[in-house]
Amino acid sequence: ASDTELNYQAGSSPMGDVPMYQSMNPKAPKMTQAEFDRARQIYFERCAGCHGVLRKGATGKPLTPDITLAKGTDYLKVFIAYGSPAGMPNWQTSGEMDEATVDMMARYVQQDPPVPPEFGMADMKKTWKVLIAPDKRPKKKMNKYNISNIFSTTLRDAGEIALIDGDSKEIISVLKTGYAVHISRMSASGRYLFVIGRDAKVNMIDMWMEHPETVAEIRTGLEARSIESSKFKGYEDKYAIAGSYWPPQFVIMDGDTLEPLKIVSTRGNVVGTQEYHPEPRVASIVGSHFKPEFVVNVKETGKTLMVDYSDLNALKMTEIGSAPFLHDGGLDSTKRYFMVAANNSNKISVFDLKEDKLAAIVDVGKIPHPGRGANFIHPKFGPVWATGHLGDETISLIGTDPKKNKQYAFKEVAKLTGPGGGALFVKSHPKSNHLYSDAPLNPDPKVSQAVVVFDIKNLDKGYVTLPIAEWADIKDDGAKRVVQPEFNKAGDEVWFSVWSAKDKVSAIVVVDDKTLKLKKVIKDPRLVTPTGHFNLHNTQNDVY
Ligand code: DHE
């Protein structure tokens, strides 16, 4: 695995510093407290993303003492030092860890896993702040911004977002958010912007204020990735929901104040084996447009929960199993079907949000990673939804129209060939004739610093390459990964982040979708490690 892949999978847990319950395993090799503390920190920084907090396993193998003690220190050291073809990194030979550290980690994984604390209603309430009460907020929009064409750009390592005016390309403001901030989502009315950090800190930003700023905040756990708000007719802006990695749970909050209302644990049994899993993390969440429901995807159990929020006391949940490990996904163009990557199974699970049913499980390439995916009309197959892959160069197209194109519905109807693996996000727009794919985790800088574009009407012609990082004209050396295509509201521009290290120059590059020519480079010292960017209209209305 390349460094970027490691950073992608495992570099971001904020839990290394959290005090945890620790019990000693008398059979495990001896460690000093200092060694244990250091090893725990490294485990969270490098290992927990794949092996889990409680080491029950996810993308990586389980590492509980019943397994590790039987293997012994010497065997484990070899594994940690040299890695495995199955994806375990070679920590020592890559120079990331020295021999003493490898030895310490081999002893550490034979100890009982320390257990982080729960994070319940009382903890949430302690962190919950309504900075500006609903009745003190403006009654109408107080600024001249064209809110629906603003972009919320993640400034990952700064723990901030930049609000960028999509019309003028000027930075409106930079706001403090959570640690290694992750995604932004817009409320159904187009007024409130929700942002979540990896430390589960949620910011709720009122876009009607003269100077948009945080009006409420809360922490919903110790580690998290997803946030969404209620979108069904009659429930617009009523609720927000945040999903956590730790504790494994989601919380439904008041949509005006972020007051936590209902916490639901996702601990439970894995689809197929039915084995109990103590930490099934909450991955992507979408608000249904067909029912008063949130669609919550639970990674390790491979279960999708249709959470009916019409009565929080008598909470109804339809649990649909498909395949592990559920990660990211998005709606089809009609918004009736939700498509989610079961990335370790190399499958896309499709859910019918009108009937609350599994519509299909579709085999795709190696480790699908769609982001929210891309919808467009294929000349032969009709409406399709696309996903790229981390593990191979293909882009899979899946038919999504069971009415007029039944024979293609929920089947992989075509595979396009991109430049190589390491793709994270694809994107199109109803007004565009193009399909874009990035590949920021590809080991070849030529590939990771560019994007490819397919002409939807001539997919057989293959792709053209846009050298986005070159266009950004950044003199610094270093990674400059190009990440996440995102359209503006009109669907005639595409934005990309050129993601450099924290101490290096980054940029946002805007491309004219018709001509595929450079339109604008946004450079500013405040743009530290830009990654995702979210056009407010497109996330409000699920346009992608
Ligand atoms: Fe993400 C979405 C989890 C690393 C940028 N990421 C998501 C979602 C999940 C997730 C569950 C779906 C949220 C939703 O739709 O509700 N991401 C994880 C991880 O667990 C992982 C692999 C490792 C980690 O420790 O966090 C990870 N993600 C990254 C990155 O390294 C990226 C490239 C850069 C960054 O900012 O950290 C990154 N993830 C994104 C982006 C989205 C996202 C931009 C939203 C895509 C969209 O179009 O909505």
Query: What is the whole-number distance in angstroms between the Cα of residue 225 and the centre of ligand 1?
Result: 7
3-state secondary structure of 14: helix
* CA-closest residue to ligand 1 atom 10: 225
Q: What is the pLDDT of residues 249-264, one digit of tens each?
A: 999 999 999 999 999 9
- Closest by CA position to 421, among listed 448, 389, 397: 389
- In this prediction, residues 472-478 reach a mean pLDDT of 92
Residue 55 CB neighbour total at 10 angstroms: 22
- In this prediction, residues 34-60 reach a mean pLDDT of 91
Q: What is the pLDDT of residues 178-218, one digit of tens each?
A: 999 999 999 999 999 999 999 999 999 999 999 999 999 99
Q: What is the pLDDT of residues 111-120, one digit of tens each?
A: 999 999 999 9
pLDDT value at 11 more than 80? no
What are the catalytic residues?
Answer: 47, 50-51, 88, 327, 369
* CA-closest residue to ligand 1 atom 46: 371
Residue 70 CB neighbour total at 10 angstroms: 9
pLDDT band at 57 (very low <50, low <70, confident <90, very high): confident
User: 0.95 cut: is pTM over it?
Assistant: yes
Beta-sheet pairing, 337-342 with 347-352: antiparallel
The two structure tokens encoding residue 359: 């519509």
* CA-closest residue to ligand 1 atom 4: 8
Burial (CB count <10 Å: 0-12, 13-18, 19+), residue 261: middle
Which stretches does DSSP call E strand in 81-238? 129-130, 150-155, 160-165, 171-176, 183-186, 192-196, 201-206, 213-219, 223-229
- Closest by CA position to 166, among listed 510, 472, 515, 517: 510
- In this prediction, residues 124-132 reach a mean pLDDT of 98
Q: What is the pLDDT of residues 365-417, one digit of tens each?
A: 999 999 999 999 999 999 999 999 999 999 999 999 999 999 999 999 999 99
Query: What is the whole-number distance in angstroms between the Cα of residue 374 and the centre of ligand 1?
Result: 16
Which stretches does DSSP call E strand in 28-76? none
Ligand 1 atom at minimum distance from 483 CA = 33
pLDDT of residue 6: 61
pLDDT of residue 5: 60
- Percent of the chain past pLDDT 70, that is, above it, reads 98
* CA-closest residue to ligand 1 atom 14: 284
pLDDT of residue 291: 98
Query: What is the whole-number distance in angstroms between the Cα of residue 216 and the centre of ligand 1?
Result: 23
- Closest by CA position to 203, among listed 222, 170, 238, 179: 179
pLDDT of residue 289: 98
pLDDT of residue 1: 46
> Pocket around ligand 1: residues whose beta carbon is below 6 Å from it?
8-9, 12, 49, 154, 156, 182-183, 198, 225-226, 283-285, 327-328, 371-372, 424, 483-484, 531-532
Spatial contact of 228 and 196, defined as CB atoms under 8 Å apart: no
- In this prediction, residues 67-89 reach a mean pLDDT of 93
Q: Which residue has the tokens 């909470």?
A: 315
Peptide bond preceding 232 in cis form (omega within 30 of 0)? no
pLDDT of residue 22: 85
Ligand 1 atom at minimum distance from 11 CA = 25
Q: To test the ligand 1 pocket, which listed residue (179, 305, 328, 498) has its Cβ within 8 A of the most ligand atoms?
A: 328
* CA-closest residue to ligand 1 atom 44: 532
Ligand 1 atom at minimum distance from 8 CA = 31
Strand ordering across the sheet containing 160-165: 171-176, 160-165, 150-155, 530-535
Close Cβ partners of 208 (under 8 Å, ≥ 6 residues apart):
137, 138, 140, 141, 142, 143, 147, 191
Q: What is the pLDDT of residues 307-342, one digit of tens each?
A: 999 999 999 999 999 999 999 999 999 999 999 999
The rounded mean pLDDT for the chain is 95
Bridge partner residues of 537 (DSSP): none
pLDDT value at 488 more than 60? yes
pLDDT of residue 305: 98
3-state secondary structure of 217: strand
The two structure tokens encoding residue 414: 């075509």
pLDDT of residue 2: 52
Query: What is the whole-number distance in angstroms between the Cα of residue 417 and the centre of ligand 1?
Result: 24
